[in-house]
Amino acid sequence: MQELALKYGCNPNQKPARIFTSQGELPITILNGNPGYINLLDAFNSWQLVRELKAACGLPAAASFKHVSPAGAAVGVPLDETLKQIYFVEGLELSPIATAYVRARGADRMSSYGDFAALSDECDEATARFLLREVSDGIIAPSYSPAALEILRQKRKGTYLVIQIDPDYQPQPLELKQVFGISFEQQRNDVLINADLLNACPRPTQNQEIPEDALRDLLIALITLKYTQSNSVCYAKGGQAIGIGAGQQSRIHCTRLAGNKADIWFLRQHPKVLNLPFKADIRRPDRDNTIDVYISEEWEDVLADGVWQHFFTSRPEPLSHEEKREWLKQLDGVALGSDAFFPFGDNIERAHKSGVTYIAQTGGSVRDDNVIETCDKYGIAMAFTGVRLFHH
């Protein structure tokens, strides 16, 4: 098959819409559902991400995509009991590939609502069962077990989009796109991000020690950024992205946005959050939204309005500013990647507040000295990759 008709383009009024190839066959098979334009943009970007993550880390990898940027990405590192609780998988039997997707979706569950899932390995029954209970638009994987496919075909009243991709497919070295009727052509971004790259990178900071688990997390951050709309910054820890700032015009805004998401990820592990007295019938998306408000500055308004009564069996005690600050002081060992150089030390100041200890960034700013000095102030180890990862 060289052409596939789509429901519509980016918006329902944009018809007709299709994907096609002028050489060879399309590398995908639609096993269920009817794809749209954005579905396939998410599918192809997320597949590249998880394929590269697995190659770089040697572990099953997964991503959760929304609007052509990842909400989360991870590899199959086992979950501790706290993460099982905040990801709502207590008592579930999880395979390595299921664990990778649970981590990817759990990084930012609000952003992952209605996501497109990508798996580096075969979708098994454990992954399909987890997906069945979550709000998701589709999935791409190299294969599906019979049991997994049967489960996924039940989702969204039988319309859930299931795509199988040929894992051996290699695109042409040149890529084309059109904007306003004008054709653009460029060499595909085939830069290889792996441990060899990071180990060969100059480390201009006083602290040059980056342990193996931090190297893995830096790889996760950089490969995630390779498929994130620029400007972008990614915080990673424990085998997963924990905060992604995408598509901002200012790099400090990327760093703040991603850092705020990383803070929320860690605050969700606070004992007060873990013990919130939710009513038994509250749906998981409503829990996610309520936890986000509980952690935010809006909670006092919710208390004043009495909205808490819709979700809780009793009035929760607020999480104070001081309690948040003290808890966030425990967050450390975080890896941070940037898709281009940091122009000012203010990015490092903000990253430090979210426990960043290791950084990989392009380097080459006229203010590199200021950035290095700020890293040295906090004992941060930083590597200059010399590689820019803009993605548009």
One-character DSSP codes across 110-151: TTTTTEEEEESS-B-HHHHHHHHTS-EEEEEES-B-HHHHHH
Q: Is residue 152 part of a domain?
A: yes
Look at the chain and report how many structural domains it folds into.
3
Q: Which residue has the tokens 């080459």?
A: 364
Mean pLDDT of 17-21: 93
Are residues 122 and 247 located together in one domain of the fold?
Answer: no
pLDDT digits (tens, 9 = 90+) for 292-325: 999 987 888 877 778 888 889 999 999 999 999 9
Question: 70 and 9 share a domain?
Answer: yes
Tell me whether residue 15 is one of the annotated catalytic residues.
Answer: no
Question: In this structure, are strands 232-237 and 240-246 parallel, antiparallel, or unpaired?
Answer: antiparallel
Q: Residue 361's domain spans which residues?
A: 189-267+328-384
Query: Are 297 and 367 members of one domain?
Result: no
Q: What is the pLDDT, as a whole number, of residue 375?
A: 97
Q: Specify if 184 maps to a domain.
A: no
Examine the fold and report which residue of 165, 181, 203 is the final residue of a domain before the chain moves on. Answer: 165
Asked whether 342 and 361 are in contact (CB, 8 A), the reply is: yes
Q: What is the pLDDT of residue 302?
A: 79
Q: Give phi and psi for 141, each to the nearest 5.
A: -160, 160
- Please tell me which residue in 45, 231, 261, 352 is annotated as part of the active site: 231
**pLDDT of 53:** 98
Confidence of residue 23 (pLDDT cuts 50, 70, 90): confident
Residues 62 and 153 placed together within one structural domain of the fold: yes
pLDDT of residue 188: 95
Active-site pick, 54, 66, 226, 261: 66
pTM for this predicted structure: 0.96
Of the candidates 191, 190, 351, 164, which has an alpha carbon nearest to the alpha carbon of residue 257?
351
Q: Is residue 179 part of a domain?
A: no
In terms of domains, do 41 and 82 share one? yes
Domain identity same for 224 and 372: yes
- Give the model's confidence band at 139: pLDDT under 50 very low, under 70 low, under 90 confident, else very high: very high
Is 243 part of a structural domain of the chain? Answer: yes
Buried b (16+ CB within 10 A) or exposed e, 288-325: bebbbbbbeeebeebeeeeebeebbeeebeebeeeebe
For the cut 80, the answer to whether the pLDDT of residue 1 exceeds it is no
Question: Is the domain of 122 the same as that of 53?
Answer: yes
Residue 94 CB: number of other CB atoms within 10 A? 22
110 shares its domain with 28? yes
Asked about 261 being catalytic, the answer comes back as: no
User: 22 and 123, same structural domain?
Assistant: yes
Residue 66 known to be catalytic: yes
Any domain includes 37: yes
Residue 129: count of CB within 10 angstroms of its CB: 17
Question: Residue 63 belongs to what H/E stretch?
Answer: strand 61-66
% of the chain beyond a pLDDT of 90: 92
Q: What CATH number should be reported for the domain holding residue 140?
A: 3.40.140.20
Q: Look at residue 198 and tell me if it is in a domain.
A: yes
| Digit-coded pLDDT (tens) for 145-188 | 999 999 999 999 999 999 999 999 999 999 999 999 999 999 99
pLDDT in tens, 271-300: 999 999 999 999 999 999 999 999 987 888
Q: What is the pLDDT of residues 51-97, one digit of tens each?
A: 999 999 999 999 999 999 999 999 999 999 999 999 999 999 999 99
pLDDT given at position 387: 94
Active site (annotated) includes residue 67: yes
Q: Is residue 292 part of a domain?
A: yes
Domain identity same for 107 and 137:
yes
Same domain flag for 51 and 195 = no
Q: Which of 67, 272, 324, 391 is catalytic?
A: 67
Does 143 reside within a domain?
A: yes
Same domain (yes/no): 346, 206: yes
